[in-house]
Chains A and B, each alone.
Chain A
Amino acid sequence: MLNRSRFTMKESAMSVIRWLGLAGLMCLTLVPLGCSPDRAADGNNRYVIATVVKVDGIAWFETMREGVEAFGKDTGHRVFVLGPAKADAAEQVQIIEGLIAQQVDAICVVPFSVEAVEPVLRRARERGIVVISHEASSQQNADLIIEPFENAEYGRHLMDELARYMGEKGEYATFVGSLTSKSHNEWVDAAVAHQKEAYPGMVNVAAKIEDYDDQNLAYEKTRELITTYPNLTGILGSAMSTVPGAALAVEERGLQDRIQVVGTSLVSVSGPYLKSGAAKLISFWDPADAGYAMNKLAVMQLEGKTVQEGADLGIDGYRELAGSPDRPNLFYGSAWMDVTKDNLAQFETK
């Protein structure tokens, strides 16, 4: 009974939100916004900027929505976030088509499939809509692409931290979500290359173990690594699930003083292990800041400012953008944040 009422309440709340959203969209279409941006009190143009995410409703993109809304509050531009109810490339394309019809000024997109959105983004640009892409370094039809950081640099950073905890010597293993996860492999490749150069005392005994973003697999593989390599002293994780899985195995065996677990994760799942010492450091980037940075870039582009290396987007991690040698419209922040036992408290909500 309790269950049932929960369901219907949540359901009706969802449908109210849906209708409100739809009504809001219809209002937007009634006003011919794209052609003549109205003027704010301070004399600046006020633009309409849509942010299209991969999936609506999951924690990661709800956090991104907060960042986008913060940008709207700070600047007075009309910003909103849309996304398909489930991760689906075709639905995302439909949403962007709707936005073209509404003649928004700019579209910020986190594509589910970079290739699938190319044609619709080209159409948007042909209509004079500014397009900003995120998590899509290979996007062709975008005015600007912003990535939270350069993958190789991030990989080297993680290796530096692991090396510090391992005392720059000993055996370590690396994990990836799968051998086809592009960013994970770039992080690990750069990390291992950096280790070979900078930390000759360390040995990579098990390379790119796959955990398929599954905490249970990360746990089982770590147990197996502990059995196989009695001298193992370090683990480098890539997927959000690796650090909690590996740390659990380490904690269960009582080896938190010997084996150092470092990697990409979120405080919500890895916090308890940082506290217990079974994981030493996790790193991640804040989707709220990425949402803010995308919208800021959209405004800069709309105002005709040229974005170049060193540009400041007014939010931590994106204060001095790095460029890319072969892609003039691709920019990187340095937006990773490290969390250890010591600064855990200030990240408790992430």
Chain B
Amino acid sequence: MRKLILTHEFVLFVLVVLLCVAIGIKNPAFWSLGNVFDLLKSSVTLGLLALGVLVILISGDIDISFPAIAAFSMYVTCLIAQATGLGDHIAILFGMAAATGGLLGAFNAVFIHFFRLPALIVTLGTASLIRGGLLAFVGTRIITDLPESMVAFSRAQLFRQQLPGGETIGLAVSIFILVGVALLVQFLLNHTLLGRGIYALGGAPEAARRVGFNIRRIRFFIFALVGCLAGVVGIIHASNMRNANPFDLSGLELTVIAAVVVGGADITGGKGTVIGTILGTLLLVIIGNSLILMGLPTEWHKVAVGAIIIVSAGMAAWRRRMGRNSGRRK
């Protein structure tokens, strides 16, 4: 019991519940079904990117090029779909975008692994290269005539119902992509040799090499994985917005990294869990989408978001000091 209470995830869970109760007291509309559906839908893109970044952080690296990769994969896929008529089925589009993203991610890994450059500098460079290349050579025009399958995907909802005022609400199906990917990443990290290798690489790279983990393969896998997820996020984003704007999805990297770190991952590698990352994502999404609900004036929005991040990160540090004697943590 003491062990459970001392986990970072438990503390974070309590924080999320407290926050929900507090917002709900201030404005009971927070608990309306429509709002809960909205929050879940908002968690999808942030959550998918956070899961990719989680794997990268566990391995001791970092990636800040994923928003550019997401925008690039989204735009190029939509252009190809427009030109060729492919894309009757949303799965084909997801596949194309994930493949494009995966290739770009592997491109990062080439520099990081073979040239031994710091991942921060490499991905800072490729982020600029990918976004710049997209705008300079591919296009700046917003694509508005997306394939029908994308619009249909964004319109697909479960538990669709009409409220007395004539308002319709429903749960976006994209939430199941997040749930599926979260389960896959959980399985990968904890039940495969590759997953153990990722933890080992982040915890002690030299030791991981000596016990025989293939570092090159692990590096290429994780950077391609985050690229694939970014590609998927690109398609979900374009579907949701009903257009593909090459300027979109910028400036997401810090929010995503914040969600993962609030979720308990260690920026120096070796630590982090899927459940923590999901809770960190939920925390940031709930704060970001409840400031109007709480009646805060716009001037205070940034202050509130910053304060919550500091409080949750501070609680994690405090817990770490308290739990220093309670043995190894993941």
Q: Which chain A residues have a beta carbon within 8 Å of chain B's beta carbons? A: 2-3, 6-7, 10-11, 14, 57-59, 85-86, 179, 206-210, 212, 214-216, 219-221, 223-228, 230, 244-245, 248, 252-255, 257-258, 268-269, 271-272
Q: In the bound complex, how far is the Cα of B292 from the Cα of A221, in angstroms?
A: 8
A227-B35, A230-B165 in contact; A209/B242 too (CB < 8 A)? no
Q: Are A210 and B166 within 8 A (Cβ)?
A: no
B76, B142, B248, B288: the one within 8 Å of A268 (CB): B142
Decide yes or no whether B90 CB sits under 8 A from chain A: no
B219 interface contact, C-beta 8 A: no
- Which B residues, 224 to 262, have Cβ-Cβ distances below 8 Å to chain A? 237, 240-243, 245, 248, 251
Q: Which residues of A contact B268 (CB under 8 A)?
A: none
A179 touching B299 by the CB < 8 A rule?
yes
The answer to whether the Cβ of B326 comes within 8 Å of any Cβ in the partner chain is: no
For this complex, 30 residue pairs linking A to B, each with C-beta atoms less than 8 Å apart, are: A3-B80, A10-B138, A14-B137, A57-B136, A59-B140, A209-B292, A209-B298, A212-B251, A215-B241, A215-B245, A215-B248, A216-B240, A219-B241, A223-B38, A224-B293, A225-B292, A226-B34, A228-B292, A228-B293, A244-B242, A252-B168, A253-B168, A254-B162, A254-B168, A257-B166, A268-B144, A269-B144, A269-B243, A272-B144, A272-B242
Given A14-B137, A215-B245, A254-B166, the answer on whether A220 and B297 have CB atoms closer than 8 Å is no
User: How far, in whole Å, are A272 and B30 apart by their CA atoms in the complex?
Assistant: 31
With contacts A59-B141, A210-B301 known, what are 7 further pairs, Cβ within 8 A?
A14-B136, A207-B297, A215-B245, A224-B291, A244-B242, A254-B167, A269-B243
Most buried by B among A3, A227, A230: A227
A2-B80, A215-B245 in contact; A7/B137 too (CB < 8 A)?
A: yes
Q: Which of B264-311 contact A (CB under 8 A)?
A: 288-293, 295, 297-299, 301
Size category, B interface: 35 or more
B42 partner residues in chain A, CB cutoff 8 A: 220
B325 at the interface (CB under 8 A from A): no
Known contacts: A3-B76, A179-B299. The answer to whether A255 contacts B142 by CB under 8 A is no
Q: How far is the CA of A155 from the CA of B14 in the complex (A)?
A: 46
Most buried by B among A11, A14, A224, A225: A224
Flag if A207 contacts B289 (CB, 8 Å): no
Q: Check if A216 sits within 8 Å of B237, measured CB to CB.
A: yes
Q: How far is the CB of A319 from chain B (nearest CB, A)?
A: 31
A179 touches B237 (CB 8 A): no
Tell yes or no: B125 within 8 A of A by CB.
no
Which residues from B are CB-within-8-Å of A269?
142, 144, 243, 245
Rounded to whole angstroms, the CA-CA distance of A78 and B271 in the bound complex is 65
